[in-house]
Chain A
Amino acid sequence: DAGVTQSPTHLIKTRGQQVTLRCSPKSGHDTVSWYQQALGQGPQFIFQYYEEEERQRGNFPDRFSGHQFPNYSSELNVNALLLGDSALYLCASSFDPWTGTTDTQYFGPGTRLTVL
Protein backbone atom coordinates (compact mmCIF):
# COMPACT_ATOMS: atom_id res chain seq x y z
CA ASP A 1 0.00 0.00 0.00
CA ALA A 2 1.63 3.23 -1.19
CA GLY A 3 -0.20 5.46 1.28
CA VAL A 4 -1.04 9.06 0.46
CA THR A 5 1.28 10.57 -2.14
CA GLN A 6 1.74 14.20 -3.10
CA SER A 7 3.59 16.01 -5.83
CA PRO A 8 5.70 17.97 -6.18
CA THR A 9 7.73 17.83 -2.98
CA HIS A 10 8.94 21.40 -3.20
CA LEU A 11 7.91 24.34 -5.31
CA ILE A 12 9.13 27.91 -5.65
CA LYS A 13 6.89 30.52 -7.25
CA THR A 14 6.73 34.30 -7.44
CA ARG A 15 3.91 36.55 -6.35
CA GLY A 16 0.97 36.63 -8.74
CA GLN A 17 1.68 33.23 -10.25
CA GLN A 18 -0.60 30.22 -10.11
CA VAL A 19 0.22 26.78 -8.71
CA THR A 20 -1.29 23.30 -8.86
CA LEU A 21 -0.57 20.66 -6.24
CA ARG A 22 -1.53 17.02 -6.62
CA CYS A 23 -2.57 14.25 -4.26
CA SER A 24 -3.30 10.55 -4.63
CA PRO A 25 -5.21 9.05 -1.70
CA LYS A 26 -4.47 5.86 0.14
CA SER A 27 -5.92 2.78 -1.52
CA GLY A 28 -9.58 2.31 -0.61
CA HIS A 29 -10.07 5.92 0.49
CA ASP A 30 -12.60 8.13 -1.26
CA THR A 31 -12.38 11.42 0.62
CA VAL A 32 -9.55 13.92 0.23
CA SER A 33 -8.94 16.95 2.43
CA TRP A 34 -6.38 19.71 2.01
CA TYR A 35 -4.65 21.59 4.80
CA GLN A 36 -2.25 24.52 4.92
CA GLN A 37 0.43 24.51 7.59
CA ALA A 38 2.38 27.70 8.10
CA LEU A 39 5.73 27.45 9.85
CA GLY A 40 5.30 26.80 13.56
CA GLN A 41 1.52 26.49 13.34
CA GLY A 42 -1.04 23.72 13.31
CA PRO A 43 -2.57 22.71 9.99
CA GLN A 44 -5.57 24.78 8.81
CA PHE A 45 -8.39 23.10 6.88
CA ILE A 46 -8.79 24.39 3.32
CA PHE A 47 -11.48 22.11 1.88
CA GLN A 48 -12.60 18.53 1.45
CA TYR A 49 -13.68 16.59 -1.61
CA TYR A 50 -15.97 13.60 -1.78
CA GLU A 51 -17.56 12.11 -4.91
CA GLU A 52 -15.85 14.80 -6.99
CA GLU A 53 -17.57 17.62 -5.13
CA GLU A 54 -16.40 20.10 -2.52
CA ARG A 55 -18.19 19.04 0.66
CA GLN A 56 -16.71 21.36 3.28
CA ARG A 57 -14.64 24.51 3.06
CA GLY A 58 -12.56 26.39 5.59
CA ASN A 59 -11.89 30.12 5.80
CA PHE A 60 -9.82 30.45 2.67
CA PRO A 61 -10.43 32.87 -0.22
CA ASP A 62 -11.69 31.84 -3.63
CA ARG A 63 -8.11 31.96 -4.90
CA PHE A 64 -7.93 28.47 -3.45
CA SER A 65 -9.82 25.95 -5.53
CA GLY A 66 -9.72 22.25 -6.03
CA HIS A 67 -10.87 19.27 -7.95
CA GLN A 68 -11.36 15.56 -7.38
CA PHE A 69 -11.12 13.07 -10.20
CA PRO A 70 -13.08 9.82 -10.68
CA ASN A 71 -10.10 7.84 -9.36
CA TYR A 72 -10.35 9.93 -6.12
CA SER A 73 -7.09 11.80 -6.72
CA SER A 74 -7.25 15.52 -6.16
CA GLU A 75 -5.68 18.82 -7.12
CA LEU A 76 -5.33 22.04 -5.18
CA ASN A 77 -5.02 25.22 -7.24
CA VAL A 78 -3.95 28.57 -5.87
CA ASN A 79 -4.21 31.66 -8.06
CA ALA A 80 -2.58 35.08 -7.65
CA LEU A 81 -0.06 33.81 -5.14
CA LEU A 82 0.80 35.98 -2.15
CA LEU A 83 3.85 35.84 0.07
CA GLY A 84 1.57 34.60 2.86
CA ASP A 85 0.70 31.51 0.85
CA SER A 86 4.15 30.11 1.61
CA ALA A 87 3.50 27.00 3.67
CA LEU A 88 3.46 23.22 3.76
CA TYR A 89 0.37 21.96 1.98
CA LEU A 90 -0.87 18.64 3.28
CA CYS A 91 -3.31 16.28 1.70
CA ALA A 92 -5.19 13.78 3.84
CA SER A 93 -7.34 10.89 2.75
CA SER A 94 -9.97 8.88 4.57
CA PHE A 95 -12.93 6.60 4.08
CA ASP A 96 -16.22 8.47 4.27
CA PRO A 97 -17.81 7.82 7.70
CA TRP A 98 -21.34 8.38 6.46
CA THR A 99 -21.14 5.34 4.23
CA GLY A 100 -18.76 3.13 6.14
CA THR A 101 -16.61 2.72 9.16
CA THR A 102 -15.22 5.81 10.81
CA ASP A 103 -11.57 6.08 9.93
CA THR A 104 -8.51 8.15 10.63
CA GLN A 105 -7.29 10.76 8.18
CA TYR A 106 -3.93 9.74 6.79
CA PHE A 107 -1.64 12.53 5.72
CA GLY A 108 0.70 12.67 2.77
CA PRO A 109 4.27 13.95 2.93
CA GLY A 110 3.22 17.45 1.89
CA THR A 111 4.29 19.99 -0.70
CA ARG A 112 6.49 22.83 0.54
CA LEU A 113 5.47 25.97 -1.37
CA THR A 114 7.68 29.04 -1.24
CA VAL A 115 6.40 32.29 -2.73
CA LEU A 116 9.04 34.94 -3.45
Chain B
Amino acid sequence: ELKVEQNPLFLSMQEGKNYTIYCNYSTTSDRLYWYRQDPGKSLESLFVLLSNGAVKQEGRLMASLDTKARLSTLHITAAVHDLSATYFCAVVQGAQKLVFGQGTRLTINP
Protein backbone atom coordinates (compact mmCIF):
# COMPACT_ATOMS: atom_id res chain seq x y z
CA GLU B 1 0.00 0.00 0.00
CA LEU B 2 1.32 3.40 -1.00
CA LYS B 3 2.08 5.67 1.94
CA VAL B 4 2.95 9.34 1.72
CA GLU B 5 4.59 11.12 4.63
CA GLN B 6 5.28 14.81 5.00
CA ASN B 7 7.46 16.59 7.47
CA PRO B 8 7.27 18.74 9.30
CA LEU B 9 3.53 18.66 10.00
CA PHE B 10 3.60 22.12 11.55
CA LEU B 11 5.98 24.91 10.65
CA SER B 12 6.10 28.39 12.08
CA MET B 13 8.59 30.72 10.51
CA GLN B 14 9.44 34.35 10.20
CA GLU B 15 9.01 36.43 7.10
CA GLY B 16 12.14 36.57 5.01
CA LYS B 17 13.43 33.15 6.04
CA ASN B 18 13.90 30.06 3.87
CA TYR B 19 12.59 26.62 4.65
CA THR B 20 11.89 23.22 3.07
CA ILE B 21 8.98 20.81 3.37
CA TYR B 22 9.74 17.16 2.68
CA CYS B 23 7.51 14.53 1.12
CA ASN B 24 8.48 10.84 1.17
CA TYR B 25 6.51 8.09 -0.52
CA SER B 26 6.79 4.35 -0.24
CA THR B 27 6.33 2.93 -3.75
CA THR B 28 7.15 3.93 -7.29
CA SER B 29 4.95 6.52 -8.94
CA ASP B 30 5.21 8.53 -12.13
CA ARG B 31 3.60 11.72 -10.88
CA LEU B 32 3.73 13.85 -7.77
CA TYR B 33 1.63 16.91 -7.03
CA TRP B 34 1.82 19.77 -4.59
CA TYR B 35 -1.36 21.50 -3.51
CA ARG B 36 -2.10 24.46 -1.28
CA GLN B 37 -5.17 24.70 0.94
CA ASP B 38 -6.32 27.82 2.78
CA PRO B 39 -8.56 27.38 5.86
CA GLY B 40 -12.06 26.30 4.87
CA LYS B 41 -11.16 26.30 1.20
CA SER B 42 -10.49 23.74 -1.49
CA LEU B 43 -7.17 22.59 -2.91
CA GLU B 44 -5.22 24.76 -5.30
CA SER B 45 -2.79 23.03 -7.63
CA LEU B 46 0.77 24.35 -7.33
CA PHE B 47 3.04 21.92 -9.17
CA VAL B 48 3.00 18.60 -10.99
CA LEU B 49 6.33 16.78 -11.18
CA LEU B 50 6.60 14.08 -13.81
CA SER B 51 10.16 12.81 -13.91
CA ASN B 52 13.27 12.26 -11.89
CA GLY B 53 15.15 15.47 -11.36
CA ALA B 54 12.15 17.62 -12.26
CA VAL B 55 12.28 21.09 -10.77
CA LYS B 56 9.52 23.67 -11.00
CA GLN B 57 9.39 27.19 -9.61
CA GLU B 58 6.61 29.69 -9.15
CA GLY B 59 7.42 32.87 -7.29
CA ARG B 60 8.90 32.03 -3.89
CA LEU B 61 8.07 28.32 -4.15
CA MET B 62 10.23 25.69 -5.81
CA ALA B 63 9.45 21.98 -5.98
CA SER B 64 11.76 19.13 -6.92
CA LEU B 65 11.46 15.40 -7.34
CA ASP B 66 13.94 12.55 -6.79
CA THR B 67 12.20 9.37 -7.88
CA LYS B 68 15.10 7.15 -6.86
CA ALA B 69 14.92 8.40 -3.28
CA ARG B 70 11.11 8.67 -3.50
CA LEU B 71 11.42 12.18 -2.17
CA SER B 72 10.02 15.53 -3.15
CA THR B 73 10.79 18.87 -1.59
CA LEU B 74 8.92 22.16 -1.55
CA HIS B 75 11.31 25.01 -0.86
CA ILE B 76 10.12 28.40 0.30
CA THR B 77 12.40 31.35 -0.31
CA ALA B 78 12.15 34.61 1.64
CA ALA B 79 8.75 33.72 3.06
CA VAL B 80 5.94 36.24 3.13
CA HIS B 81 2.73 36.16 5.18
CA ASP B 82 0.58 35.37 2.12
CA LEU B 83 2.21 31.95 1.91
CA SER B 84 0.61 30.88 5.20
CA ALA B 85 -1.52 27.82 4.36
CA THR B 86 -1.52 24.04 4.53
CA TYR B 87 0.57 22.35 1.85
CA PHE B 88 -0.11 18.82 0.66
CA CYS B 89 1.90 16.53 -1.52
CA ALA B 90 0.06 13.77 -3.35
CA VAL B 91 1.32 10.80 -5.32
CA VAL B 92 -0.55 9.04 -8.11
CA GLN B 93 -1.48 5.40 -7.66
CA GLY B 94 -3.10 3.52 -10.52
CA ALA B 95 -4.94 5.56 -13.15
CA GLN B 96 -5.45 8.81 -11.31
CA LYS B 97 -5.98 7.99 -7.65
CA LEU B 98 -4.17 10.53 -5.51
CA VAL B 99 -2.70 9.46 -2.18
CA PHE B 100 -2.12 12.52 -0.01
CA GLY B 101 0.30 13.22 2.75
CA GLN B 102 -0.93 14.51 6.10
CA GLY B 103 -0.26 18.10 5.13
CA THR B 104 2.15 20.72 6.49
CA ARG B 105 0.51 23.65 8.23
CA LEU B 106 2.71 26.64 7.52
CA THR B 107 2.42 29.84 9.54
CA ILE B 108 4.53 32.82 8.56
CA ASN B 109 4.88 35.50 11.17
CA PRO B 110 5.84 39.13 10.52
| A interface residues, Cβ below 8 angstroms from B | 31, 33, 35, 41-45, 48, 50, 55-56, 58, 90, 92, 94, 96-98, 102, 104-110
Contacts and interface: CB of A to CB of B under 8 A. Distances in A.
A87 to B, nearest CB: 13
Chain B at the A interface: SS class: strand
B25 interface: no
A41 B103 contact: yes
17 contacts: A41-B103, A42-B103, A43-B43, A48-B95, A56-B94, A56-B95, A56-B96, A56-B97, A90-B43, A97-B96, A104-B33, A104-B45, A104-B48, A105-B33, A105-B45, A107-B35, A109-B42
Contacts of A110: 42
Nearest to A98: B95
B97 A109 contact: no
Q: Residue among A45, A55, A92 with the most chain B CB within 10 A?
A: A45
Contacts of B103: 41-42
A53 B4 CA distance: 27
Given A90-B43, A110-B42, A105 B96 contact: yes
B21 to A, nearest CB: 13
Contacts of A97: 95-96
Q: Residue among B4, B96, B103 with the most chain A CB within 10 A?
A: B96
